[in-house]
Structure 1
Amino acid sequence: MRLEIEGLEFSYQQEDILKNIELELDEGEILGIIGPNGSGKSTLLKCINGILKPDRGDIWLNGKDLAKFSSNEMAQNIGYVPQKENRKFPATVFDTILMGRKPYISWKPTEKDLTIVSEIIDMLYLDSISMRDVNRLSGGQRQKVIMGRALAQQPEVMLLDEPTSDLDLKHQLEVLNVVKDQVAQGISAIIAIHDLSLAGRYCDKIVMLDQGRIFDAGGLEILTPKNIESVYDVKVSVKEHYGRRLVVPEEPIA
C-alpha cells in the first residue's frame, strides 16, 4: 500500500484552507496530522476521503488516482472516522458496525460479514452493549462504534479525525492500541490529533500544519519546543520517556 498526495489545495468561499500539501504514507505506518484549530487537519482528511473535492492536486492510492475510484472502491479502501457524527436513527451497536460491510454485501450479510462484526465488537470491548441503541450511548462509546464501522470496511487506509476527543484516558489508549494493532497487520492510518504526547507515542510520521501549510514533516524529531512554540504560541518542554516524546505545556506566549 502506498498513498501519495501531490500539490493538494482547497479553498472555501475564496479562503485558502489547504495550500500545496504533499505527503506520502506507506503500508504499516501511522501518520499524525497535528496543528492548532483551523490549521486544516479535518479538511485534509475529508479531501482524502472524497467528502470534499480539492481545487487542485492529486491523491494516489497504489498508483491509482483516488478521484477515479467508484464509491464502492473508495469504501473498500478508505475507512473514515469523523470527529463527530450527528445523524441519529435507531440502530443497535451491532447493526451500526455491520453497515461498514455494505461495500461487500450484494443482498444480505454472509456468515463472514457477521463474523467480522463480532470480532470487531470483541476487539473494541463493546460486547456488553452490542444490542443497545447507539443513541443511548455516551459520546465516547459512540465514537468507538463509529471506529468499529470503519474497521468493518477492512480498508487499506484508516482516516481518524480526533478519535480520542470524547474518551477518558483508559479508552484513549484502548482505541489507539487497536489502531496500532491493525496497522501491524498491514493497513495504514492517518490520525488528526490534538494531544501531542499521544502523537509522539503512537505515530511513526508527523505532519505539522500551520494555517493550511505544512510547517514541518518527518519523524518524531520534529516535535521540538521551537516548532511547537512557533505553531501553537505556547512554551513547552519536550521530554524523552522510553523512546517516546512527551510534550508538557508550560505557558502561552504573549
Structure 2
Amino acid sequence: MELVEIDGVGLTVGGRAILRDVSFEVRSGEVMALIGPNGAGKSTILSVIAGDLRPDSGSVRLEGRDVHGGSPRELARRRSVLPQTTYVSFGYRVREVVAMGRTPWKNTTHQGDDDAVIHESLQETETISLADRDITTLSGGETGRAQFARVLAQRTPLVLLDEPTAALDIRHQERTLRTCRKLADAGSGVVAVVHDLDLAAAYADRVVLFSQGRLVASGSPAEVMTSERLSHVYGWPIDVMHHPVSGRLMVLPVRESGDDLRE
C-alpha cells in the first residue's frame, strides 16, 4: 500500500538547487534505502518527507494527506524521525529519552501501553542496561541506539532514519537494520539514509539513488546497484557481485592490494 507520495519536489537554498523535481513513493511494508554521495540531497528529501522542510515546488502526501496539513502532534503520530545528529544538553536518563517517544500518545487510549513499549524498545536496541545512565555520558554509538529506541517507542506507520548505523559497531549495525526489517514486516514503511552500500543491498527492498539533487534510479537493489552506475555516481570504481554461497548481492569499493596501500 502506498504510504507516502513525493511528487515533483524541488528546493533551492542560497541560490543552489538542493532538490530537483524529485518524485517517488514509499510503501507500507518495505525498507527503502536512500543512497548517493555526500551532498546528493538524501538528508534533505528525508526532512521534506518528515514535514520539517517545506519544498519550493511539488508536494508530499502522507497517508493521502498533505504532510503539513495537520498539527505537529498529529504528525508525530504518523511519522517518527531519527536525525543525523542528536544533541541532549541536559542529563536525562536514557529511559527518560526513550519515553519522549511516547509524548504524541499522551491522553489517548495508547497511553496505557507506555511502560511496555518503552521496555520493549530498550530491549530491541540493547540499551536496557543503559536505561538509568545519564545520556550525556554515553559513547556516540550508545547514544545513537538510545535515540533509535526513542523512535521505536513512538510507534508510527512511517519511520524516517538518517544514517541510523553511523558510529555503530558491526553487531549493532546488523541489529539496527534487522529491526528495520521487523518494522516493515509488521506493516510500517521505513526510509533510511544509508552510506554503507553493502548494508543497503542486504536489507533494502527498494533503493533510491541520488546525485546532485536528482533522483538517478529507483528500484530493487539488483536493478539500481550496478557497478557501472554506482562507479559513475560516486566517482570511484565499485564492484557489484553475488556471494558465492548465499547468492546475495555484495557491493564493495575497488581497492589496491595491501602491499600497494602500504607503499
TM over 0.5: yes
Describe the SS at the equivalent of 1:19: strand
- Distance verdict in 2 for CA 1:158–1:125, change over 3 Å: same
Q: Which amino acid aligns with 1:45?
A: L
In structure 1, stretches of 5+ residues that fail to align are: none
1:87 is displaced (CA, Å) by 3.2
Alignment equivalent of 1:249, drawn from 244, 247, 253: 253
The ranges of structure 1 where at least 4 consecutive aligned residues each deviate by more than 4 angstroms after the TM superposition are: none
In structure 1, the residue matched to 2:7 is: 6
In structure 1, the residue matched to 2:259 is: none
Deviations, residues 131-189 of structure 1 (Å, cap 9, x unaligned): 11111111011111111111111111111101111101111001111111111111110
Q: Using the alignment, how far apart are the partners of 2:187 and 2:237 within structure 1? A: 37
In structure 1, the residue matched to 2:218 is: 217
Sequence identity, in percent?
Answer: 34
Deviations, residues 72-113 of structure 1 (Å, cap 9, x unaligned): 111111110111112321111111000011111139x94421
1:231 and 2:233 aligned: yes
Q: Is the 8 A contact 2:88 2:136 kept in 1?
A: no
In structure 1, the residue matched to 2:87 is: 86
1:150 and 2:151 aligned: yes
Deviates more, 1:191-200 or 1:174-183: 174-183
Deviations, residues 190-236 of structure 1 (Å, cap 9, x unaligned): 01111100000010111100000011111112100111011001111
Q: Is the 8 A contact 1:225 1:237 kept in 2?
A: yes
Q: Which amino acid aligns with 2:86?
A: E
Deviations, residues 10-65 of structure 1 (Å, cap 9, x unaligned): 11111100011111111100111000000011111111112211111111122111
Q: Is the 8 A contact 2:10 2:55 kept in 1?
A: yes
Q: TM-score, normalised by structure 2?
A: 0.92
Q: Is the 8 A contact 1:18 1:212 kept in 2?
A: yes
Q: How many residues align?
A: 251
Q: Is the 8 A contact 1:27 1:188 kept in 2?
A: yes
RMSD: 1.6
In structure 1, the residue matched to 2:242 is: 240
Deviates more, 1:203-212 or 1:64-73: 64-73
Q: Using the alignment, how far apart are the partners of 2:64 and 2:111 within structure 1? A: 31
In structure 1, the residue matched to 2:261 is: none
